[in-house]
Amino acid sequence: MTTEPQAPPPSRAWRLLDLVVGLGAWAGALCVTGILVSYSIEVFMRYLLNAPTSWASDFVKYFLCGAVFLAMPQLTREGAHVSVTVFKGKLPARSEALAARLGLLISAAVCLLVGWLALEQTIYNFSRGIDTMSLIAIPKWIVAAPITFGFVVSGLVLLAQVLRLDAAITEAAR
């Protein structure tokens, strides 16, 4: 029998955020599959049939944008993003916890601000009916929406990490 306190089960909001992050990661993986399929079709058409496609290069760019920004919250949740750890383990525990919270809050604020700006641009592209400038034009909001998703959901993940860190610190103090 263990005497360590058990963390309460995650709330509905945490589970919903985790679900959204997971769905984004799967959508990002589908975009990587789209890149593979697009390039495979291009190689087949160009080198075997001597009839290159006019769309593959553009679609690979769109899929790459989607892959990066749809998977971004998953990487943020796992801490797989770039991180400066120069102070980690060198500060007193209380100062290190404060620095961690401050870093997460600043990162969350930046992500949410950029997400807001991306949302405004996505809405602008949608309302004006702006298309991409390519041989096969698609609505530009489709390309911009994953950018909004990536930054907004990453900002929410960072805020959740602050709250979870605060809960862990409170629990450890008991």
Tens-place pLDDT, residues 38-92:
999 999 999 999 999 989 999 999 999 999 999 999 999 998 877 777 767 788 8
Of residues 148 and 164, the one with the higher pLDDT is: 148
| 8 A C-beta contact, residue 42 and residue 56 | yes
Highest mean pLDDT among 3-7, 71-75, 161-165: 71-75
**Quick check: 20 pLDDT over 50?**
yes
pLDDT at res. 173: 56
Ramachandran region of residue 139, left (φ > 0), alpha (ψ -120 to 50) or beta? beta
Q: Cα separation of 74 and 85, whole Å? A: 20
Q: Which two tokens stand for residue 20?
A: 């959204």
How many independent structural domains does the chain possess? 1
| pTM for this predicted structure | 0.85
Domain that holds residue 21: 12-173
The confidence score (pLDDT) of residue 95 equals 81
Any idea what DSSP says for residue 139? B
Question: What token pair was written down for 143?
Answer: 């390309």
The candidate with the shortest Cα–Cα distance to 72, out of 104, 111, 43, is 111
47, two tokens? 């080198």
Mean pLDDT across the stretch 11-36? 94
Query: What is the per-residue pLDDT for 1?
Result: 41
